[in-house]
Homo-oligomer: A and B are copies of this chain.
Amino acid sequence: MSDKKKRLGVVLFGLGRAGQFHLNNLARHPRAQLLYVVDIDKARVEEIAATFKVIGLTSGEEALADARVDAVIVATPTPSHYQVIMSAIAAGKAIFTEKPVGYTLQEIDEVFRQASRRGLPILCGFNRRFDRSWIKCSEAVQSGAIGSPQIIRSTARDSPVPTTAYLQTSHGFFHDSGVHDIDVVRWMLQEDPIEVYATTHCYLPHIKELGDVDTIIMLLKFKSGCMGTIDLSRKSVYGYDQRVEVFGEKGMVQVENKPTTSCVISNAEGVIHDKVMYSFPQRFEEAYYLEFDHFISYVVDSVPPRVTHTDCRNAFIIAEAAMKSAATGVPVTIDYSIN
């Protein structure tokens, strides 16, 4: 339905932190028309519905039944993603969902299988794929600017420390955060790792209590000979530290952190640049808009999606293999044929 004037009718599920980004983007995107917002928090729904002049609901049925609704944005808490997505598929809507699509490989496969069967577009929001810095980095690698990649390093250190409430439904550090870096590595190299070795540690009591970890290092091996590391922490006091570095035979490309401002103070102590951006809403603000914009192009203009079933599935499989390695203390060969 490649109609440049078409404005996509949208229902937004979830008015929390992620929902807020989407609201702002929906409000200003010339090709989207927000029709409904859905959240179990009645007061919140009413406030947002008034501000954005849309219909507010505490349950999604009515919205999904509305033929003017072309697409569903899933920004609810993680555990409900699968269910919301499946009901949207049943209603024949296009889907843009925050990661993850599901909690198991079976759920992930089922979601994409059903969407495919119905011919429905579905996009999972691996936000780094829509950030200009990561895109430029990826383009540099794919263009051959650094020759064949030999070493890759991805770093993700959280700011602020997630709360127990968040962590309880986060699906664990490997799946909650590690998959982003795993996805970045796969995307940059256009190759899947064949083996992973992972070690972990936990410093923070509230995370240990949940049986989760707060520090991970993974070492990945690729058939091409390329090798990579991923290092993750749940607590970076100097800001949201998100970097990637690809080293190749002809050069190196890096995504560096961004300072909060470009103000710099020089004194007898040193040359003090502003602190690193605080958290993901700051760092990925534009990426969220571009992500949504890509979703519209995917749905309306049939542009191929930048995140596919294979991307979601393989990132999941690698994260599982890494967890197994961390549990057993030995490297794990990755089997992509499992179901």
Give A contacts to B, CB under 8 Å.
23-24, 27-28, 30, 51, 53, 132-134, 136-137, 140, 145-146, 150-151, 153, 157, 197, 199, 201, 203, 215, 217, 219, 221, 225-229, 231, 233, 235-239, 241, 247, 249-276, 329-331
Contacts and interface: CB of A to CB of B under 8 A. Distances in A.
Given A30-B51, A260-B132, A262-B133, A151 B250 contact: no
Given A247-B233, A271-B238, A276-B271, A261 B219 contact: no
Contacts of A257: 262, 271
Contacts of A199: 219, 221, 227
B231 A231 contact: no
Given A53-B53, A271-B274, 14 more contacts: A23-B28, A132-B261, A150-B201, A199-B227, A201-B227, A203-B249, A227-B231, A229-B229, A237-B267, A241-B252, A253-B264, A254-B266, A259-B271, A271-B272
Nearest to A52: B27
Contacts of A329: 331
A267 B255 contact: no
Contact of A217 (B28, B30, B151, B235): B151
A270 B274 contact: yes
A255 to B, nearest CB: 5
B262 A270 contact: no
Nearest to A25: B28
A249 B237 contact: yes
A24 B286 CA distance: 14
Contacts of A238: 251-252, 266-268, 271
Contacts of A197: 197, 219, 331
Contacts of A28: 23-24, 27-28
Contact of A265 (B24, B146, B215, B330): B146
Most B CB within 10 A of own CB, among A146, A255, A262: A262
A264 B260 CA distance: 17
9 contacts: A132-B263, A150-B203, A217-B227, A252-B266, A255-B261, A257-B271, A271-B276, A272-B273, A273-B273
Q: Please list the 6 inter-chain residue pairs (A to B) with the smallest Cβ-Cβ separation, ordered nearest first.
A: A251-B267, A133-B261, A136-B263, A238-B266, A201-B225, A27-B27
A173 to B, nearest CB: 14
A241 B247 CA distance: 11
A96 B226 CA distance: 39
A253 B153 CA distance: 18
Given A28-B23, A199-B221, A217-B151, A275 B265 contact: no
A227 B201 CA distance: 8
